[in-house]
């Protein structure tokens, strides 16, 4: 019997309207009066200890490298290390029992795992906060409910695609004097061992779609987290293993694969001939390496250069506030964060008034500065910088020929005096300086690019997406023809566009069951979460027939 949550989730896939199986509000009314305190207590108790929840057998060693960006001190959590060949062998040993289950049964077990994950949302939130530098609310929402929704989306899509066709039919063809009859059956056959390579900034949200898509399609999975962000996804893997064991199945169907302190194992796993499927989130260079591996089915989300096209609007102050929040959220460490802001030299039309270019830049700078200077808002918006190298790169950033409209400045975190923080900087560059803005500058930075007109803005945004990739694009225009042109040109380069956003919705955000995250249509990634291709490439249809 199908889990009722799966039936609702499959319906939501088709409707594309708002649907959230897991509430994003961490209020006591939703998750219990003691849930937050208990999650925090479990996180604190885990620090400095071995993570012993995994059911993977006796470890070769224990390893851990995580550091809190808020404290700039090690978490001290260590995880069981297994040699790559051991992990692969364990996965292979579990392959047959997992693949022979009906897709509906696999989906039910994985949905139960999400219920276990739900009971750990606060543990995961604090683990995410102190490995990535996300503020608590983002940590809770992105790594908890939103990630669980994306996982459920992948389960639902995988189940639907594996049950799209009948398992068996009697096929008859009238031959005149007689009827030719065949009995035909089909099987959705998984490809084999899958590997999911996680990133340091969104260790859960970016990992669970591939993890659950491979699992629901019958493939055992090795989860290889970034060594600086292990704990959030380790908790998820532990809950998956609990659900598997409770169903009488081997825990090795899903394993955590951590690096040794002195030995990174990602390439060892990726190049192993038994690994058939790879999901990857991270930098473009390593992503291109993964895509180049022969004999693998690969799903990547890499870096991109995201643009904002400013043409005209109804209220420039509201636009500036929205964009300031977008570029400041998690200090620009999101794959959807805008970087390049294209502004015509003549300015931006607001109603019947043309606001000069310099005034537009000043409004953007004032909105960012005001957010950074707000002691109540800044900690919840900016969070902390995950990697010390990101902070160092921001402060040493050299853009010859640019003008600084707003310099980087750390904000004082009210709870963590040692937090690694860096407020956004704004640099003005000319449209001819493509070397300056034709690259991803990961972190809190805005480039305001003065263009000849909106036509050039659109051309440059599309060119950047085509050549370097883009995951998001924002556009502000009150002209219907301009809007249509932006939609047309950006769709041809595989880039979704958010138009005229103000208020509480931002270009950074993607909604499960409605928005496709990444399109696979430009160099920013070759896959989309979660369209049918994201699951159907993880298995093959094989048919059998015999005389009836």
Which pLDDT value is given to residue 409? Answer: 80
* Same domain, yes or no: 253 and 377: no
Q: What is the dihedral of CA 5, 7, 9, 15, to 10 degrees?
A: -150
Looking at the predicted structure, is the pLDDT value of residue 28 above 90?
Answer: no
C-alpha–C-alpha distance, residues 330 and 128, integer Å: 12
Q: Which residues pair with 280 in a beta bridge?
A: 197, 300
Looking at residues 116-122, what average pLDDT do you find?
97
Question: 393-447, pLDDT tens digit by residue?
Answer: 998 888 988 999 999 888 889 999 999 999 899 999 999 999 999 999 999 999 9
Query: What is the domain-level CATH number for residue 478?
Result: 3.40.309.10
Which pLDDT value is given to residue 17? Answer: 96
Question: 299-338, pLDDT tens digit by residue?
Answer: 999 999 999 999 999 999 999 999 999 999 999 999 999 9
* Same domain, yes or no: 103 and 210: yes
Q: What residues contact residue 501 under an 8 Å CB cut-off, 6+ apart?
A: 322, 474, 507
Which pLDDT value is given to residue 84? Answer: 98
Q: What residues contact residue 88 under an 8 Å CB cut-off, 6+ apart?
A: 193, 222, 269, 272, 274, 275
* Same domain, yes or no: 160 and 196: yes
Which pLDDT value is given to residue 3? Answer: 81
Q: Edge to edge, what strands does the sheet with 168-174 contain?
A: 168-174, 179-190, 539-547
Q: Report the chain's mean pLDDT, rounded to a whole number.
A: 96
Which pLDDT value is given to residue 160? Answer: 97
C-alpha–C-alpha distance, residues 220 and 190, integer Å: 9
Phi, psi dihedrals of residue 58, rounded to the nearest 5°? -75, 125
pTM over 0.85: yes
Looking at residues 33-54, what average pLDDT do you find?
97
Looking at residues 492-504, what average pLDDT do you find?
97
* Same domain, yes or no: 213 and 102: yes
Question: 282-292, pLDDT tens digit by residue?
Answer: 999 999 999 99
In a domain, 28, yes or no: no
C-alpha–C-alpha distance, residues 471 and 286, integer Å: 18
The domain in which residue 316 lies consists of: 307-499
Which pLDDT value is given to residue 2? Answer: 62
Looking at residues 122-149, what average pLDDT do you find?
98
* Same domain, yes or no: 255 and 151: yes
Q: What residues contact residue 387 under an 8 Å CB cut-off, 6+ apart?
A: 200, 228
Q: Return the ∠ at Cα 134 (arms to 148 and 309), rounded to 5°.
A: 90
Of residues 412 and 201, the one with the higher pLDDT is 201
Looking at residues 17-46, what average pLDDT do you find?
94
In a domain, 341, yes or no: yes
* Same domain, yes or no: 272 and 396: no
Helix, strand, or coil here: 143?
helix
Which pLDDT value is given to residue 452? Answer: 98
Provide the number of structural domains found in the chain. 2
Which pLDDT value is given to residue 27? Answer: 86
C-alpha–C-alpha distance, residues 65 and 52, integer Å: 16
Which pLDDT value is given to residue 137? Answer: 96
Query: What is the domain-level CATH number for residue 297?
Result: 3.40.605.10
* Same domain, yes or no: 357 and 426: yes
* Same domain, yes or no: 277 and 333: no
In a domain, 182, yes or no: no
Looking at residues 165-194, what average pLDDT do you find?
96
Question: 56-94, pLDDT tens digit by residue?
Answer: 999 999 999 999 999 999 999 999 999 999 999 999 999
H helix and E strand count, the chain: 20, 22
Which pLDDT value is given to residue 514? Answer: 97
Looking at residues 451-465, what average pLDDT do you find?
98
Looking at the predicted structure, is the pLDDT value of residue 1 above 60?
Answer: no
Which pLDDT value is given to residue 398? Answer: 86
Q: What residues contact residue 1 under an 8 Å CB cut-off, 6+ apart?
A: none
* Same domain, yes or no: 298 and 325: no
């Amino acid at each position: 019997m199908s889990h009722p949550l799966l039936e609702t989730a499959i319906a939501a896939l088709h409707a594309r309207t708002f649907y959230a199986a897991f509430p994003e509000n961490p209020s006591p009314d939703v998750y219990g009066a003691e849930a937050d305190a208990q999650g925090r207590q479990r996180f604190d108790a885990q620090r400095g200890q071995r993570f012993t929840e995994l059911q993977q057998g006796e470890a070769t060693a224990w390893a851990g490298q995580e550091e809190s960006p808020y404290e700039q001190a090690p978490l001290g959590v260590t995880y069981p290390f297994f040699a790559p060949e051991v992990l692969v062998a364990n996965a292979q040993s579990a392959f047959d029992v997992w693949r022979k289950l009906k897709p509906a049964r696999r989906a039910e077990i994985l949905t139960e795992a999400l219920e276990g994950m739900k009971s750990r949302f606060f543990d995961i939130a604090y683990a995410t906060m102190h490995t990535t530098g996300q503020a608590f609310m983002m940590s809770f929402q992105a790594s908890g409910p939103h990630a669980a929704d994306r996982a459920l989306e992948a389960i639902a899509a995988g189940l639907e695609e594996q049950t799209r066709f009948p398992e068996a039919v009697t096929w008859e063809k009238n031959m005149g004097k007689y009827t030719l009859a065949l009995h035909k059956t089909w099987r959705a056959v998984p490809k084999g061992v899958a590997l999911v390579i996680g990133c340091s900034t969104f260790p859960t949200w970016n990992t669970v779609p591939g993890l659950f898509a491979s699992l629901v399609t019958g493939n055992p999975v090795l989860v290889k987290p970034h060594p600086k962000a292990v704990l959030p996804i380790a908790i998820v893997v532990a809950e998956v293993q609990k659900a598997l064991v409770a169903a009488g199945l081997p825990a090795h169907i899903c394993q955590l694969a951590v690096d040794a302190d002195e030995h990174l194992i990602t390439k060892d796993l990726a190049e192993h001939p038994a690994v058939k499927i790879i999901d990857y989130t991270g930098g473009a260079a390593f992503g291109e390496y993964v895509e180049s591996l022969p004999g693998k089915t690969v799903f990547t989300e890499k870096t991109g250069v995201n643009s904002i096209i400013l043409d005209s609007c109804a209220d420039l102050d509201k636009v500036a506030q929205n964009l300031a929040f977008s570029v400041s959220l998690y200090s620009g460490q999101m794959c959807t964060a805008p970087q390049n802001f294209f502004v015509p030299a003549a300015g931006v039309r607001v109603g019947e008034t043309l606001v000069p270019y310099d005034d537009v830049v000043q409004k953007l700078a004032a909105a960012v500065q005001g957010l950074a200077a707000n002691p109540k808002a800044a900690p919840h918006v900016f969070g902390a910088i995950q990697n010390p190298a990101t902070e160092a790169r921001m402060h040493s950033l050299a853009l010859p020929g640019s003008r600084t409209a707003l310099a980087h400045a750390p904000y004082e975190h009210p709870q963590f005096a040692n937090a690694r923080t860096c407020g956004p900087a704004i640099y003005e560059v000319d449209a001819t300086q493509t070397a300056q803005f034709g690259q991803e500058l990961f972190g809190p930075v805005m480039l305001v690019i003065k263009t000849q007109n909106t036509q050039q803005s659109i051309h440059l945004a599309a060119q950047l997406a085509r050549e370097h990739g883009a995951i998001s694009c924002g556009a502000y225009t009150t002209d219907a023809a301009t809007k249509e042109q932006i939609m047309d040109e950006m769709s041809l380069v595989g880039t979704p566009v958010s138009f005229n956003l103000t208020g509480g919705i931002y270009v950074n955000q993607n909604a499960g069951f409605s928005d496709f995250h990444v399109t696979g249509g430009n160099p920013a990634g070759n896959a989309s979460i979660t369209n049918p291709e994201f699951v159907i490439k993880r298995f093959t249809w094989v048919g059998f027939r015999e005389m009836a």
